[in-house]
Structure 1
Amino acid sequence: MLNNPTKLLFLMTLMSGTLISISANSWFGAWIGLEINLLSFIPMMTNSNNLLSTEASLKYFLTQALASATLLFTVILSSLLYSSPNSLLMTNSIIITLINTSLLLKMGAAPLHFWFPGVMEGLNWMNGLMLMTWQKIAPLILLSYNLTMNMFTSVIIILSVIIGSIGGLNQTSLRKILAYSSINHLGWLITALIMGESLWNLYFLTYVYLTSTIIFMLNSLKLFHVNQIFSMNFTPPVIKFSLFMALLSLGGLPPFIGFLPKWMIIQAMTSAQFHLIISLMVIMTLVTLFYYLRTSFGAFMLTYTETIWGSSSPKINTNQIMALTLSMISTLGLIFSSTLFSIL
């Protein structure tokens, strides 16, 4: 991507669109930023070598255009209603719900997630990483402006964690598994937004870091489906081990760094007396962890085959070294964090 000046230009405008959106002081400015971001991402998605990318980019464009139109019309309606204060009090909650719905559709939270796994399936790994991380920043920050823990938000959080967990159970595509995992994490991210900005920062940064680690590894090994994992015979065992350690960390298994933000959200939700919601979230996250374990277990248990004669040791490329380093930090991160907290 960085060798292509056109893609580099679109990458810069995509980032600037997000920055315009989150620094805007009006909803109209935020809408402009979201549109710049959308129109920059569409050319980056298209790939002449991949037939699914055209379908994915069209699906993404139509969904985002619908969300943007809803947001724009709701903002215009809101500005019209401000001229008559009596009607504003009646429809204020409806307007906030409509704005939140359009932003939830933009980021792919359940039950507005229908486009997300299909679009992910048509993208390469790097574009998929961008869709799962950077493209969520602007809608999430805009959502935080008028988000409260009411019935609408509770339903969105519960549906996101349930659909994100159940949806990934019968998938064989690694891209779809990560897409459903992303929907599950969105439920936790929205909860973190309500509980506090610092919690959201911690959870989002940890999520981006772990997702990047996994996708760098999968991209360097050219893995796209679960059955390809079982034929990684000539991959160095340490690479295979670190890939699945990062996967389990993303699922939130306690010895790894991925458990730290979940732990803090569980504490915050328990202190705020949201016992039912956090119980459902923890149970559904265990389901997510199950399909990560199911993917990992076969690869852990299957014998590693290697020819004794006439073969050199497998080479580890630069991407794998970077992913390996990130994975090691993920494996030992919770221990270091707990030690640091106890010292301070």
Structure 2
Amino acid sequence: MLINFLFNSNKMFFYFILFFSTMISISSNSWLGCWIGLEINLLSFIPLISNSNNLLSSEASLKYFLTQSIASLNFLFIIIMMMMFLKNFNSNIFYNSILNLPLLMKMGAAPFHFWFPNIIEGLSWMNCFIIFTWQKISPMILISYFYNMKFLFFIMILNSVIGALGGLNQLSLRKILTFSSINNMGWMLIAIMISENIWLMYFSIYMFLNMNLCIMFYLFNIFYFNQLFFINMKNIIKICIFINFLSLGGLPPFLGFFIKWILINFLIFNNMFILSFIFIMMSLITLFFYIRIVYSSLMFNYIKMKWFKFKMKNYYFIYIFSMSMISIMGLPLSTFYLYFF
């Protein structure tokens, strides 16, 4: 089922263009080349999310197209203005800041995140995974080329706070992962300002954990909070979901803790105590709503008879279990890093 979805011949062409448009954007020598890469990326993603049989999906594709088009138009307008009026791009702090605004809007970062949860609600889990991970690569790399430090600090704090507080009252798992993505964008921005290697490590771990959760929810066809205790699911699968959620929140001894620990280390060594304090506090709030999901699914017993019983194929179960075991490797990696570096 999952393999047929991924290797659908009608969609493979658009996946191919989606991949190479990101490569065009991040490897281009000019800002116009970056803009062209972003546009190709947008036009290749629209056919993947639109579905004529699903009204919510069609609405999501239209909303996505409109917001991304506005962001692309602003990006092009700012580039042309800079080429006309500035000889040296780095000489003007104002242009440094406004060039980042359309890129932040493209990846759904706060305070331009309002389109993000609405669009996610109409997408399948596989498209959610793409928009959570792959669609953030080009804008984030382009921001790292040209930014104002003070402005990005404000954006990081805003992402961290909105991502944590926005997920508190959500019942949809897609929206919970959306606000988690907004929260993680704050961490990713600080990572890319430090080093592209650290950002790549953070992004790879984040992508891995998101992939595990999206595949599990796709296999069980779960979209809402209450479905976790309505359906008859094995406790070991619930524990696997539990492990991946806590790892995404950055709780030791899980894998998500390892990279957050490196970033907090850097912030403290550079006397950024307030920023590290805000990041840690907001991570605790995200952990609260992850634990609430898992506690409900493990502890609550739905009184009525559970009519739906899922029979999972062995290789899916082995995959989920082995990926969850990898998520527990955070503390040994942190100890190894501390000892050698």
Place the TM-score, normalised by the shorter chain, in its bin.
over 0.9
Equivalent in 45, 54, 61 of residue 57 of structure 1: 61
Counterpart of 2:147 in structure 1 is 147
Matched, 1:106 2:106: yes
Counterpart of 1:292 in structure 2 is 290
Indicate the SS of the match to 2:231: coil
Counterpart of 1:97 in structure 2 is 97
Q: 8 Å contact 1:237–1:304 — kept in the other structure?
A: no
Counterpart of 1:135 in structure 2 is 135
Q: 8 Å contact 1:195–1:269 — kept in the other structure?
A: no
Post-superposition offset of 1:50: 2.0
TM-score w.r.t. structure 1 length? Answer: 0.91
Q: Where in structure 2 are the equivalents of 1:6-17 lying within 5 Å? A: 6-17=10-21
Distance in 1 (alpha carbons) for counterparts of 2:181 and 2:338: 31
Distance in 1 (alpha carbons) for counterparts of 2:337 and 2:259: 14
Q: CA RMSD in A?
A: 2.1
Distance in 1 (alpha carbons) for counterparts of 2:337 and 2:103: 36
Distance in 2 (alpha carbons) for counterparts of 1:48 and 1:246: 33
Distance in 2 (alpha carbons) for counterparts of 1:179 and 1:22: 24
Counterpart of 1:337 in structure 2 is 333
Q: 8 Å contact 1:31–1:71 — kept in the other structure?
A: yes
Q: 8 Å contact 1:21–1:31 — kept in the other structure?
A: yes
Distance in 2 (alpha carbons) for counterparts of 1:29 and 1:342: 41
CA gap of 1:48–1:316, structure 2 versus 1, over 3 A, is same
CA gap of 1:290–1:23, structure 2 versus 1, over 3 A, is same
CA deviation digits over 1:177-209, x for unaligned, max 9? 000000000011001111222221111111001
CA gap of 1:342–1:51, structure 2 versus 1, over 3 A, is same
Post-superposition offset of 1:232: 2.9
Distance in 2 (alpha carbons) for counterparts of 1:313 and 1:70: 48
Equivalent in 32, 49, 52 of residue 36 of structure 2: 32
Counterpart of 1:327 in structure 2 is 324
Post-superposition offset of 1:336: 3.2
Among the aligned pairs, what percent are the same residue?
45
Counterpart of 1:193 in structure 2 is 192
Post-superposition offset of 1:51: 1.3
Post-superposition offset of 1:320: 3.8
Distance in 2 (alpha carbons) for counterparts of 1:317 and 1:110: 41
TM-score w.r.t. structure 2 length? Answer: 0.92
The gaps in structure 1 that reach 5 residues or longer are none
Post-superposition offset of 1:343: 6.8
